[in-house]
Amino acid sequence: MPPIPRTQPLPRVISYYQTHHTSDGKPISILPLLTQADISVTHVILAAIHINDDAQDLTLNDHDADDPRFLTLWAELRVLQASGVKVLGMLGGAAQGSYERLDGAEDRFEEYYIPLRDMLRRHALDGIDLDVEENMSLGGVIRLIDRVRRDFGKDFIITLAPVAAALLDPNRNLSGFDYEALEVMRGKEISWYNAQFYCGWGDCSSSLMYEMILSKGWPAEKVVMGLVTNPENGGGWVPWELLGATLLTLRGRIPNFGGVMGWEYFNSLPGGRERPWEWAQWMTKILRTQQESAAPGQAAAPVATSVVAKEVKKELVDEVDPDGPNSKDAPLPASFDYYTDGNADDD
């Protein structure tokens, strides 16, 4: 088993975990992120929690969060937590309605917020990821953040998941409110932003857009570069050699680079559905080599980025060079299909 990660080390390696079952209903285990060699994941974000019309009908994807189908999931997430990996719950996402229900009058807010609070407590999650992909007022998101902080204390992780463009231009935004204004007003309560550099809202084929965000004044340690892990999961997937070059550039130039997140775990390339943990192995090799060698409370050892780059480049070329002795079939882009457990089975 790899070393236990320290609390929120940089760069973070974060995996979103939304598809929990195969098409025939078998659990998709998240434990390989612990048991496979050479992986140093810092956070797993469980998706997606939905607030529905009936305030008591809180669901994890399409089922009650306490449905027996999730017994294995909750047990495995506790193992991750016991091993030092922080586990957050993601609220919202592409499905609409959760934030509209939290953005009304005070009594309506209480009606919908309390079941969410109780679910987070019941499963002892380490934080919440607010993925606001519908219009919400600035006052509404501030009220939600303030209430979560009051109910869960100073160590509870609060993150948001804006599209990357929203950190440059408030008009290129899915959330309705201005993230720059939110950072000014509540930045001390927000651990970081899982910025979506995909689906037309960002570009991770070079370091340019990330560096533009930093030039706007965003602190690097609070901006996580969000990636699609497979072209099946959305537009904007970047081939390994380009992506590796981007990440090595950011790692070399920015000592406090916030890290990466991957949407999502179950079919992550290069291993795909058979070996989805290989994405995390790649990210560990690119971003976190020597990170775990430092004792708690000490700075990580200096990294010879050029050495890592040479090793990673060789392996990336082996992945995509059809004439190389170690070549593998390069993954081909496919049309986007929004995939959840609800697409996989009908029970």
| DSSP collapsed to 3 states, 104-127 | CCHHHHHHHHHHHHHHHHHCCCCE
- Please report the DSSP string for 262-286 in residue order: EE-STT-TTTGGG-TTHHHHHHHHH
Please list the helix, strand and coil fractions of the chain in percent, rounded to the nearest 5, in that order: 40, 15, 45
* Count of alpha carbons within 13 angstroms of residue 199, beta-carbon side: 20
pLDDT (average), residues 66-90: 98
CA distance 173 to 163: 7
Q: Confidence band (pLDDT; 50, 70, 90) for 9?
A: confident
Query: Could you read off the pLDDT of 232-277 as tens digits, one per residue?
Result: 999 999 999 999 999 999 999 999 999 999 999 999 999 999 999 9
Whose tokens are 């990294």? That residue is 303
Domains, the chain, with CATH or none: 12-301+336-344 (3.20.20.80)
pTM (2 d.p.): 0.85
In this structure, what token pair is assigned to residue 61? Answer: 């994807």
pLDDT (average), residues 8-15: 89
**Residue 258 DSSP SS3:** coil
Give the lowest-confidence range in 48-52, 85-89, 310-314: 310-314
Q: What is the mean pLDDT of the chain?
A: 87
CA distance 165 to 146: 25
Query: Could you read off the pLDDT of 37-72 as tens digits, one per residue?
Result: 999 999 999 999 999 999 999 999 999 999 999 999
- Please report the DSSP string for 284-329 in residue order: HHHH-TTGGGSPTTSPPPP--HHHHHHHHHHHHHHHH-TTSTT--P
Distances (CA, A) of 258 to 113, 131, 219, 287, 301: 30, 18, 9, 10, 17
pLDDT (average), residues 314-322: 48
In the predicted model, is pLDDT for residue 325 greater than 80? Answer: no
Q: Among residues 135, 232, 127, 238, which one has the least CA distance to residue 189?
A: 127
Q: Confidence band (pLDDT; 50, 70, 90) for 305?
A: very low
CA distance 96 to 93: 7
